[in-house]
Amino acid sequence: MFSPMEQVPATDNVPGLSAKQVQAVYALAAGTSKKATAKALGVEPHTLTRWGQLPAFRAFLGQVTNSIEADSLYALKAQRLKALDTLSDLMDEQNPSQVRLSAARAALELPAPAVTPAEDPIALFEDVMKHFKAQEESNGIGPKY
């Protein structure tokens, strides 16, 4: 079973936090309950509550949580591109019309990706263009320079 305690980087030295507090941050950010985190660290749950009031603890917890969320969003975007590539392949002429129709319907039913104001539109455009260029190169199409 996954144990966030085993995932804690041994070299994380966060100013103002003890090693146990850093471990607690990683465990809590990974979704481990306060009770389980306290037990694994050998402290009482109310100790975690008290640590949670420390500005350094809260700030580091926010950083780790944001990092986990960003990694998750990136992974989801990558999987979405793979799914779209698969649907695109299924819509090729060599496939039966029923397969192409089903793939087209699936593509149209996909929700549009949420674009948050925090995303850089230029970077997003460049990522999309890199993706299309890679697709062209792998399929032997596109301009030959």
Look up the pTM and report it. Answer: 0.56
Higher pLDDT, 23 or 112: 23
- The percent of residues above 70 in pLDDT, for the chain, comes to 79
Is 93 contained in some domain?
no
Which domain range does residue 42 map to? 4-61
Whether residue 120 lies inside any domain: the answer is no
H helices of 30-120, in order, are 34-41, 45-51, 55-90, 97-109
Q: How far apart are CA 52 and CA 95, in angstroms?
A: 57
Token code pair at residue 128: 């999309």
The pLDDT of 28-57, averaged and rounded, is: 94
Q: Quick check: is 43 in a domain?
A: yes
* Stretch 3-30: mean pLDDT: 78
What pLDDT digit, counting tens, does each position of 55-84 carry? 999 999 999 999 998 888 888 888 888 888
- 115-121: long-range contacts (C-beta < 8 A, 24 or more apart)? none
The answer as to whether 18 is a domain residue is yes
The tally of domains found in the chain comes to 1
Q: In the prediction, which pLDDT does 74 show?
A: 87
Q: Is residue 32 part of a domain?
A: yes
Looking up tokens 């990694």, which residue turns up? 71
